[in-house]
Amino acid sequence: MISYKADVIIIGGGIIGCATAYYLAKNNISVTVLEASDYIGNGGSSRNGGGVRQSGRDPRELPLVMYGIRNLWPHLSEEIGVDTEYHQDGNLRLGKNVHHREILQGLTDRANKVGLDVRMIDGDEVRKIIPYLSDEVTVASWCPTDGHANPLTTTLGYYKTARKLGARFYTGVKVMELRKVKGELRRVLTDDGSVFEADQIMVAAGYESRKLLGSVGIDVPMTRSLLEALVTEAEPHLFDQMLGTADADFYGHQTKHGSFVFGGSSGFEGFNKDNCTPMTSSITAPAICRGIMKYFPDLADAKIVRTWAGWSDKSADGVPVLGRVEEVPGLIVACAFTGHGFGIAPAIGDQMAKLIMSGTTDIDISALHYDRFKAKI
Amino acid sequence: MNTLSDRSRDIGEFVSQPGDEMIICRCEEITKGEIRRAVHEGMFTMTEIRRYLRAGMGLCQGQTCSKLVKGIVARELKVSPADLEPATSRVPMRPIEMKVFANENEDEDE
């Protein structure tokens, strides 16, 4: 049984944990990150479609993501010493019929209300931006300040730089329990009996956060759904924008490498089998392909080289749980990103580090508070 | 927790070696030096090396290079290659056109 001490412990080695560790280490705070799996960034951090977007987000998390896109993403590659492949070339959400148009109009109106530049454009304007789109596309929402990046290199870039600045990372270390000392959260117990101690502890462990928080009497209402994605071989350059559809049949972008990364759904996401490791089912990738070809007939001959799956950690109201947990002094939580945690991660890391260091954040995160969940009556 | 868990454990400094310019992953043109340097930047597993460098992400999905990559990483970490996990293989077994993959419902009426 071994004992360790740091200023801050972060439970979870995904992009949220690694980014927070970086912004803390940058300010000379001693931080230890505990990751249960053998790999840094093995959850949603490495499995998502790479979207860095403001459009389509709930207003409660919009100020955070806009802050990140304005202040952090533009120079992130230089700062964390990797090519994040960040592109701010806009986001197109495509539609083919009147029903799609209504969905997109709603999204556009909600965005404009909070000062985000999102416009509706017609099929011809869409094809001026991306000529390869099918004639069936009649409408799209267009957000010029959205974009995409490489989630693998970004996550590992935060890890590598935090580690270089002195943050300690342990993989294969599963935290079983949070433990209070004299009413304050100070300790975590791991599966091999080790005890880590710190003044503040952040839980950013994805879906597993719920069980851990339960050990100090806190519950975050969340569930999981298993999403899938695929990647093609390198293709000639077709477009730079991040794409999505009103019907959510697929979303994705073309990478620096030339391959296309697309995610999509079969409709069974909430019911897919938990095989103890994210595994694809045989019906989803073909469904994603059919979805893509309806919009990009030219991609019919593109070869798929790999498919994968990942869990979306869904909060009960679609936005993450973030911030201090007042009734457990010393506890900070950042989880349940509901499938859109990548683009917002730099802002989360930056603001959680500020919260840990100074007790406040620059952006108002009160709407994402852990005890906002009330019964409907 | 075993010795492999601590990502800050001392594995020595990165020292340039002859042969660092040799291409190991030929699909993505990743050199031995890049792989060795990545280990010193904290990438201690095959999965992290793949995600960080793209070694094993090309057309052959690591069939050509993964044993070589594993040997290089193991040597840098001063462990046996048997201590490193095999790279994860995933569907499809070889590249398949979107239109073929999409065609699973062959028997149904269009």
Same domain, A246 and A304: yes
Range of the domain at A190: 3-64+152-221+317-368
Task: Look at residue B1 and tell me whether its pLDDT is greater than 60.
Answer: no
Interface of A with B in 166-195 (CB under 8 A): 168-173, 190, 192, 194
Could you give the CA distance from residue B110 to residue B89 in angstroms, rounded to a whole number? 33
**How many other CB atoms sit within 10 Å of the CB of residue A75?**
11
Could you give the CA distance from residue B10 to residue B39 in angstroms, rounded to a whole number? 12
Q: CATH code at A53?
A: 3.50.50.60
Give the pTM: 0.96
Same domain, A308 and A229: yes
The DSSP secondary structure of A174-226, one letter per residue, reads -EEEEEEETTEEEEEEETTS-EEEEEEEEE--GGGHHHHHHTTT----EEEEE
Choose among A30, A11, A351, A5: nearest CA to A203.
A11
Per DSSP, the three-state class of A369 is coil
Same domain, A247 and A298: yes
- Token code pair at residue A30: 């001693």
Q: According to the model, what pLDDT value does residue B87 have?
A: 83
Task: Look at residue B110 and tell me whether its pLDDT is greater than 60.
Answer: no
Same domain, A206 and A260: no
In a domain, A78, yes or no: no
Q: According to the model, what pLDDT value does residue B43 have?
A: 97
Same domain, A166 and A217: yes
Same domain, A15 and A120: no
Tell if the CB–CB gap between B1 and A172 is shorter than 8 Å: yes
Among candidate residues A277, A298, A313, the one where a domain is terminated: A313
Q: What is the pLDDT along chain A (377 residues), one digit of tens a residue?
A: 556 889 999 999 999 999 999 999 999 999 999 999 999 999 999 999 999 999 999 999 999 999 999 999 999 999 999 999 999 999 999 999 999 999 999 999 999 998 899 999 999 999 999 999 999 999 999 999 999 999 999 999 999 999 999 999 999 999 999 999 999 999 999 998 999 999 999 999 999 999 999 999 999 999 999 999 999 999 999 999 999 999 888 999 999 999 999 999 898 888 888 888 899 988 999 999 999 999 999 999 999 999 999 999 999 999 999 999 999 999 999 999 999 999 999 999 999 999 999 999 999 999 999 999 999 99
Instruction: Spell out the domain ranges in chain B.
Output: 3-105
Same domain, A95 and A243: yes
Same domain, A39 and A177: yes
pLDDT digits (tens, 9 = 90+) for A350-360: 999 999 999 99
Among candidate residues A298, A313, A328, the one where a domain is terminated: A313
Task: Look at residue B90 and tell me whether its pLDDT is greater than 80.
Answer: yes
pLDDT digits (tens, 9 = 90+) for B37-82: 999 999 999 999 999 999 999 988 999 999 999 999 999 999 999 9
Among chain B residues, the shortest Cα distance to A41 is held by: B48
Asked if A213 reaches chain B (Cβ–Cβ under 8 Å), the answer is no
User: Would the CA dihedral through B31, B33, B34, B36 be positive or negative?
Assistant: positive
* Structural domain count of chain A: 2
Same domain, A212 and A260: no
Asked if A5 reaches chain B (Cβ–Cβ under 8 Å), the answer is no
Average pLDDT of chain B to the nearest whole number: 91
Same domain, A233 and A309: yes
Q: Which residue of B7, B25, B45, B100 is the best one to mutate when testing the A interface, meaning the one whose CB has the most A CBs within 10 A? A: B7
ipTM of the complex: 0.94
The CATH class for the domain spanning B3-105 reads mainly alpha
Tell if the CB–CB gap between A300 and B104 is shorter than 8 Å: no
Same domain, A170 and A214: yes
Same domain, A187 and A54: yes
